[in-house]
Structure 1
């Protein structure tokens, strides 16, 4: 599943990048903006575009920046798009990062669920919800700090859907897949510290 999703992202990104005119492509190269789909370190289109949205030279070209911003938002589900604050998208790196974090959160869920469904290995079905905690972290993120879930847990699915239904500035939550033994140890350690 992971390879398939990454390959699909790579192909779509190449196709989109190739849709620029030759003049636009030349200008992008001069700005230091290149399609990273062929890089061996490529993970997902949304991450590559996120890095380009920080490029000051790209920002100074309103037309090209708009194309990148629109492509970036086109990669998130339709129900989220009406809630996009375009001024924040342009000016706040944390806000922009929320969309990529959401996509990677969902990607990690899909990969872990696929591994579990194809192997029925209960060892591979646990996720650790890990928000980055700082002065900008919303309270909703803090409540999930270091929570362990099973991928099949309905409560996890409900929390994830609710948490990621609208953009939240300052949210930098992620998921880490962990083994059954790690989940048990983590829960024991959490109970001891409480």
Structure 2
């Protein structure tokens, strides 16, 4: 059965890398989260906007907003990395809002819809690793290692707002887009063939589309 194992939100945490500022990447389990469409990426009161009420986002220019409203990672993936790194990785360790069990998050395709709790979420793409994530993990070559693994978890937009709790079942309606999370991650990490595949599906627009077009043009 596909379930939510944990729901997590981040409080402001200061770290010096990549710049000395607060980040919400260190998330902790809570009893319930309320999700809603936060609108476009922006900065309000010095922070970004999350689709999860009470979830802090330090870098509002690059994170948060409708297309990155909620982030999910499978606990099975946390277990893989815990064994690889020889350290405990509890729910929320990767900065995810939803820690799932019994579902292959990375097999999700862009456009898939998840009904979970009283909310409906839609897959928008992968989590692209960044310097803040690398600093959080404190592991050598973390961005490269994480990207090469290719199982980055999925971002979602909120189609219907609602509440999500641990133990809620996840019901998936497939989009049939054929563009899974690992393919999209490779595209955004600079793989020209993957970028052409994603572009051909016509799933992205704006800045994301321009990034893919530039990557796809490489020989």
TM-score if structure 2 supplies the norm length? 0.26
Higher Rg: 1
Which one has the bigger helix percentage?
Answer: 1
TM-score scaled to structure 1, two decimals? 0.28
- The structure with more strand, counted as a fraction of residues: 2
